[in-house]
Amino acid sequence: MESQARGKNLPDINHLSVLAAMIVLAYTLGRFIDLPSWQISSQLPGLYIEFTIDVNMITSLLVAAMTVAGANWLMHNHPAARGRHSLEHAILPALTALVIGIPLSSVPVGLGWWLGLISGAIILVLVLIAEYIAVDPDDIRLPTATAALSAVSFALFLLLAGALRANGVRLLYNTPALVIAAWLVSLRVTNLKLHGEWTIYESAIIAFVIGQITAAFNYWPLTPIAFGLVLLGPAYALISLFCNLIDEKPFRKLIVEPMVSIFIAWGAALIIR
């Protein structure tokens, strides 16, 4: 009976609907509200800094912050949470909400934009449900939720890298954004794979390496998807390597999975470049 109960916990449908509706409404209003952009520029010795703060950027950041609060609100009501704050379960939903806004901001309002918004909202709801399941380490659906969340994490990183590349973001901004994203993805995926263990320093090492690779390949003539795959391969490989090291896996398994992941990702990038 207890085992069956462990597999039936789902977020409150009313709370989930309110959160999803607020996010959809925020992105919708963001496209129809016309606010002046704020351009910041500065000439430093040997470096010219310029970036623009517009309504799309403000909307994405506000939606990400709202998702953090909403996810914590949902997880706080989980029976296994016992009233504790669950900020680790807000990392991936916030990243999902933020990444969804990047392609939406560059697509004109039309059928494609509405389909993208609806698809993004559905993905976000599924991520929130999976995170809710992951709150309880004894939930019988945890392996499925862990696999789904890990897959979404890597897909979001690939989408973010490709979107930044497609928008022609400068190296000065591209690298820090992908370093932060790599750190957050590494934190969440390793936390899931290691059953709640935090790898703050290991994730920082992974993010640093990804930053170096980003800088190295920034000016290569790669398509957005190929550029994302070039970064995704090492990110997956390093996460797998650290998880295997912590779990004290055999040497063969320790090395084979990371090498295969890099080979597949870079091979695909070479084909579609």
pLDDT digits (tens, 9 = 90+) for 200-216: 999 999 999 999 999 99
Instruction: Identify the CA nearest to 12 among candidates 84, 73, 97.
Output: 73
* Domain positions in the chain: 1-140, 146-273
Tell me which amino acid residue 174 is.
N
Secondary structure of residue 53 in the 3-state scheme: strand
Q: Tell me what pLDDT residue 100 has.
A: 87
Q: One digit per residue, pLDDT tens: the chain, 273 residues?
A: 444 445 567 777 888 888 888 888 888 888 777 777 777 777 767 667 777 777 778 888 888 888 888 888 888 777 776 656 567 788 899 999 888 888 887 778 888 888 988 888 899 999 999 988 888 888 888 889 899 999 999 999 999 999 889 888 888 888 999 999 999 999 999 999 888 788 899 999 999 999 999 999 988 889 999 999 999 999 999 999 999 888 888 877 788 888 999 999 999 988 887
Using alpha carbons only, how large is the chain's radius of gyration in Å? 20
Q: Is 20 exposed, middle or buried (0-12, 13-18, 19+ CB in 10 A)?
A: middle
